[in-house]
Amino acid sequence: MPEVNSTLYRSRGLARTCPDCRAVVRDGVIAHDETCPIARIIEAVKRSDANTFLEDTALTQFLRLVTVAEIQEAAIFGDDISGCDAILVTNLGGGFRLRQPVIIRDAS
């Protein structure tokens, strides 16, 4: 596995509103409109991540491509993950998963 750097986050800027449904971050949480395309894609990605672990119960971690919706959602919270190469998804157990934007470096 290539070396990954999960300490990518740049300094947090001010939280913004969703560019699609105009929802606002309150107390660190955003409640998108149910028709919001960003929220729908994020939910689909989360389901796909969960299914990956259900299909391979020995798997504890995997890398996948970053979706544009994840870049947009991070930006709503003031984070710029547009320069990351992948999302490292870790199964924490109990139905919880950790998603970390990472930069991949060639260790050679």
Rounded-to-integer distance, Cα 52 and Cα 65, Å: 14
Query: Between 20 and 85, whose beta carbon lies closer to Zn ion?
Result: 20
Shortest distance (Å) from residue 75 CB to Zn ion: 12
Sequence letter at residue 45: V
Q: How far apart are CA 72 and CA 18, in angstroms?
A: 8
Stated as kind and residue range, the H or E segment containing 18 is: none
Task: Return the number of the residue (31 or 59) whose C-beta is nearest Zn ion.
Answer: 31
The residue (of 38 and 102) whose beta carbon lies closer to Zn ion is 38
Which residues are near Zn ion by CB under 5 A? 18, 20-21, 23, 32, 36, 38
